[in-house]
Amino acid sequence: MLDLLYAVAVAPFRDMAGAPAFLIEVLIGGVFAGLMYSLVALGFVLIFKASGVFNFAQGVMVLFAALTLVGLLERGVPVLVALALTTVVMVALAFAIERLVLRPLVNQAHIILFMATIGLNFFLEGFGEMLWGANVKKLDIGIPDRSFIVRGVQINQLELTAAATAAVLVTVLAVFFQRTRIGRALRAVADDHEAALSIGVPLRTIWVVVWSVAGVVAIVAGLMWGAKSGVQFSLSLIALKALPVLILGGFESVPGAIVGGLIIGVGEKLGEVYWGPLVGGAIENWFAYVLALAFLLARPQGLFGEKIIERV
């Protein structure tokens, strides 16, 4: 019993203290992994904020964006043109979704909209694969996936770039939300879409905009994840990695997605490296959820979520 307690509560910390450089490496690995999750979670947050839709298809949108980009690159389209074209495709997708899915389902229960996005998920899976094939494709964005060592701590260039990208993306989104006209409209819709409608905010335009922005976020996430693992079908599964980030940070909060990502990333790496071996490893997947769950029990609406006020 005591041994067990020691193994769970003391040994991992001694382990950490014994090899500080390695601990720092784990922490850095966690931070980077977390930011990668945040990139995906951001797309969820944007859509939930503006339309109250829990968009399960965000993972597939990442896949779809990456597939389109790589498909264009493979056909010899220059990088910038390909990026522009992919953006166009994602915006077109946003239009189509608004027209064909959201508009007919306006005012339905959340769960119905959620289901519709799962339907969309299936559709895009089939469609993306039909267009671009199921093979693994290499995505080379010019950043070598190599590491350099600073004082015994290993840092990966690609991850560093991803982190920087996430930071830039969040800043841009923050400015977009706070400073631009359309950003203010978005926030108005998020607060109360009927009230927003009554003062003349065009709801449909807002939806198209927000799904387009989520599409662009998906391109960025697709770029980063695609560079990491090659572009392939499994990219859509990273949505499952973003969900704990989402509930931890709160569905409506952009900073929440970042902070949540960091907590989940660092938490699951520490858990896997220091406590995982006790139970045979591969605990990352559920550990992230349990960690998020633990936070939720303290704050049921996530760290940065809007407080739920309930009335009878």
- Tell me: does residue 204 bind other proteins (CB under 8 A): no
DSSP letters, the chain, are -HHHHIIIIIHHHHHHHH-HHHHHHHHHHHHHHHHHHHHHHHHHHHHHHHH----TTHHHHHHHHHHHHHHHHHTT--HHHHHHHHHHHHHHHHHHHIIIIIGGGTT--HHHHHHHHHHHHHHHHHHHHHHH-SS-B----S----EEEETTEEEEHHHHHHHHHHHHHHHHHHHHHHHSHHHHHHHHHHH-HHHHHHTT--HHHHHHHHHHHHHHHHHHHHHHHHHHH-B-GGGGGGHHHHHHHHHHH-TT-HHHHHHHHHHHHHHHHHIIIIIHHHHTS--HHHHHHHHHHHHHHH-TT-SSSPPPP---
d(CA 73, CA 86): 10
- Tell me: does residue 74 bind other proteins (CB under 8 A): no
Residues 166-185 that bind other proteins (CB under 8 A): none
- Tell me: does residue 99 bind other proteins (CB under 8 A): no
- Tell me: does residue 104 bind other proteins (CB under 8 A): yes
Cβ nearer to other proteins, comparing 90 with 291: 291
- Tell me: does residue 280 bind other proteins (CB under 8 A): yes
Residues 6-45 that bind other proteins (CB under 8 A): 19, 22, 25-26, 29-30, 32-33, 36
Among 246, 257, 262, 263, binds other proteins (CB under 8 A): 246
Residues 132-161 that bind other proteins (CB under 8 A): 134-140, 145-147, 154, 156, 158
Residues 47-66 that bind other proteins (CB under 8 A): 54
Cβ nearer to other proteins, comparing 15 with 176: 15
**Number of residues located near other proteins, criterion CB under 8 A:** 92
Instruction: Please choose, out of 161-169, 181-189, 201-209, 288-296, the segment that lies near other proteins by the rule CB under 8 A.
Output: 288-296
- Tell me: does residue 4 bind other proteins (CB under 8 A): no
Cβ nearer to other proteins, comparing 145 with 192: 145
d(CA 272, CA 79): 38
Among 247, 258, 262, 263, binds other proteins (CB under 8 A): 247
Residues 106-135 that bind other proteins (CB under 8 A): 108-112, 114-116, 118-127, 129-130, 134-135
Among 12, 244, 249, 267, binds other proteins (CB under 8 A): 244
Cβ nearer to other proteins, comparing 181 with 310: 310
